[in-house]
Amino acid sequence: MTAASAADVASALRGADAVTILCHVRPDPDTLGSGLALGQALVGLGMAVEVAYPGDLPLPSAMKALPGSELLVRPDAVVGHPVAVSVDAATLGRLEDLGEVFGAARERIVVDHHVSNTGFGTLDFIDPSSDCTASLVLEIIDELGVTLTEPIATCVYAGLITDTGSFKWARPSSFGIAARLIEAGVDGAKWSRTLLDSHPFTWFGVASAVLGDAKLESAACGGAGLVYATVPHELLSSMAWDESESLIDLVRTAQDAEVAAVFKESEPGRWNVSLRSKDKVDVTTIARAFGGGGHIRAAGYSIDGTSDEVAAALLAQV
């Protein structure tokens, strides 16, 4: 790994004719906003740009509305340019099949803010002190000398507002960045509603079923408590994939638990687990024990088994 700065990344990009930008699987607004912000900046410099994420999940309508989404290509249509940038992926595995495209590029640039990211590019611009990857992309755009237009600012804002939970856990620097983005013309009220405060009515039924079945283990985590909920495959398949992402934000509101977990059965017997903590437990330690990763207060992993087995495995670990 070669530790790189925003300036290093900008000079590597400046000479390129064409750039492939890769977002992580099950894209969230940070990876996508980062990809589309950088993509639009590079298009402005006259480069050919393609942006892609692995898998065949449709883009949630909220993210489809982001400026620059016309740069997105399906994974099987990716050309694979000599310069590739991975945005917000903590590991090469998060790029799934597109990891091959990344690996085949001459210059492989990793831009990320996950503390667990050990680097997998020729240039690794990894800064865990940043609340989101989109803010790091803004640093690169500034180094490139590209004007912060409203469409670019909107994409950066999408990453910033979602990865800070509407600034609930934002660090001081993020407020300065937000002010700059709003001044550049971002409609903050519209995008917070679109990206964070919007669900189809059918989601209410799913959320009530999941919450009604949640379990509290007060003795877990050294007495700090664990609350968890499971979303069986049948229930999970009844909702749009991105709608399940916000269930953890409901479960983690339990006053009685330091750690919250949501088990989502992506395929029968296969579970994706989201973990959150409040202010004591480092959940990356738990996630890593199961081969996952993430941030100190938000991490995840995948595991096989029945719902009882995967819950017992977590309880044994905390």
Positions in the binding site for Mn ion (CB under 5 A) = 30, 88, 132-133, 163
> Phi/psi of residue 119, each to 5°?
95, 135
Whole-angstrom Cα distance, residue 86 to residue 133?
Answer: 10
DSSP SS3 for 299: strand
Provide the β-strand partners of residue 114. none
Q: Which residues contact 212 (CB under 8 A, 6 or more apart)?
A: none
DSSP, collapsed to helix, strand or coil, labels residue 188 as helix
CB-wise, 33 or 68, nearer to Mn ion? 33
Residue with Cβ nearer Mn ion (88 or 265) = 88
Cβ-proximal residues to 203 (8 Å cutoff; 6+ apart), any chain: 239, 243
Query: In whole angstroms, how close is the CB of 311 to Mn ion at the nearest point?
Result: 27
For the record, the structure tokens of 46 come out as 């006259």
Our CB check for Mn ion shows the closer of 230 and 284 to be 284
Please report how close the Cβ of residue 30 comes to Mn ion at its closest, in angstroms. Answer: 3
The CA-atom distances, in angstroms, between 238 and each of 86, 205, 233, 242 are: 31, 10, 9, 12
Nearer of residues 26 and 81 to Mn ion, judged by Cβ: 26
- Residue with smaller CB distance to Mn ion, 156 or 220: 156
Residue nearest to Mn ion (CB): 30
Among positive and negative, which fits the CA dihedral 149, 161, 29, 122? positive
The nearer residue to Mn ion, 163 or 242, going by C-beta atoms, is 163
Place of tokens 């971002």: 186
Task: Give min distance, CB of 24 to Mn ion, in A.
Answer: 9
Residue 81 or 94: the one with the smaller Cβ distance to Mn ion is 94
Parallel, antiparallel, or unpaired for β 48-52 and 259-267? unpaired
Tell the smallest beta-carbon distance from residue 26 to Mn ion (Å).
Answer: 12
CA distance 12 to 225: 47
Shortest spacing between CB 34 and Mn ion, in angstroms: 8
